[in-house]
């Protein structure tokens, strides 16, 4: 069960996670986390697996099999140059009108996991990710490249910016306790 939980966390995070963070947040010993990581490596880091577990600088992350790199690069290039999907447009709009905004906040508004959409928007250069020292997590904003492409010189120039940026219902949703049982 521990290995499954660590796999799920690594998959959902889609970015490097410090091993010490896994220990702390999952309340596990160093030995148990190490055993789980070794088990994941033995099952995934094989030639016929599409994903591998990368370990570097005391962090771990799921990555694509290096042997599939060329095909993955072709796919991502094609994906990044195609039209935006409706979920991508929704996410981009949320970031435009409510940014800087965290991934959990975007997901609270949309009601679904947005990891892949955020990654895709960053690959396209439409959004920027920066670390917010007060929130202790990354926040997302429109990139200068995207703003230039749509012809606005500041986010406040977007249509109906004030009404969406200051929407009371969204503000109320974002300030609500996500788990009132606690």
Domain count along the chain: 2
Cβ neighbours for 6, distance < 8 A, ≥ 6 positions apart: 22, 26, 33, 36, 37, 40
Residue 105 in any domain: the answer is yes
Q: Do 40 and 110 have their domain in common?
A: no
One domain, residues 57 and 103: no
Taking only the tens place, the pLDDT of each residue in 26-83 is 999 999 999 999 999 999 999 999 999 999 989 999 888 888 888 877 776 766 667 8
Indicate if 95 and 46 belong to the same structural domain: no
Q: Is the domain of 126 the same as that of 153?
A: yes
Lowest-confidence segment of 73-87, 125-139, 159-173 by average pLDDT = 73-87
Domain of 48, CATH number, reads: 1.10.10.10
Strand, helix or coil at 140? Answer: strand
The whole domain housing 106 covers 83-175
């Amino acid at each position: 069960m521990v290995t499954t939980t660590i796999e799920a966390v690594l998959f959902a995070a889609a970015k490097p996670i410090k091993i010490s963070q896994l220990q702390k947040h999952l309340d596990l010993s160093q030995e148990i986390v190490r055993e789980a990581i070794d088990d994941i490596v033995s099952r995934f880091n094989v030639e016929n697996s599409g994903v591998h577990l990368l370990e570097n600088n005391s962090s771990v992350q799921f990555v694509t099999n290096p042997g599939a790199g060329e095909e993955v690069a072709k796919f991502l290039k094609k994906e990044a140059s195609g039209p935006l999907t409706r979920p991508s447009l929704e996410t981009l709009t949320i970031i435009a009108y409510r940014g800087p905004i965290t991934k959990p906040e975007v997901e609270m508004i949309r009601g679904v996991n947005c990891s892949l959409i955020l990654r895709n928007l960053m690959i396209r250069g439409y959004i920027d990710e920066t670390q917010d020292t007060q929130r202790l997590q990354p926040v997302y904003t429109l990139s200068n490249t995207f703003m230039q492409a749509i012809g606005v010189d500041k986010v406040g120039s977007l249509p109906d910016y004030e009404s969406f940026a200051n929407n009371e219902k969204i503000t109320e949703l974002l300030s609500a306790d996500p788990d009132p049982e606690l």
